[in-house]
Amino acid sequence: AAYGAPRIAQELNALGHKCSVNFIANIMQEQGIIARNGKAFNYGGHALTMHNVADNLLWRDFSTDRPNQKWVTDITYVWVEKQWLYLATVMDLFSRKIIGWSLDTNMT
């Protein structure tokens, strides 16, 4: 993996070569050097998340002309007091308001 400007600046400063992150970033940009991150997260078919999944009926057509015609859901996780909590929401596409939600310590 290639270091980014913050890490290079930190290493150089630790070795006694005083420099700023912006100075290193400018040099990297001039030389066309780009930091390489690790592999991106793979949203593969995890057994827990692939059960009871409904078909995609909207196919990105989010327009609607009346309430309660189209609802969409999403799930995310939030770090709260030393643990992850899972937040699931249901939104009405007409009003764009959250009409239901659930918060729990597990995704199921």
d(CA 102, CA 86): 8
pTM above 0.95, yes or no: no
Q: Cα dist. 29→38, 58, 92, 99 in Å?
A: 20, 42, 45, 47
Domain residues of the chain, as ranges?
1-38, 45-108
78: left (phi over 0), alpha (psi -120 to 50) or beta: beta
Task: Decide if pLDDT at 44 tops 70.
Answer: no
Confidence of residue 40 (pLDDT cuts 50, 70, 90): low
Top pLDDT among 48 and 11 is at 11
**pLDDT given at position 89:** 95
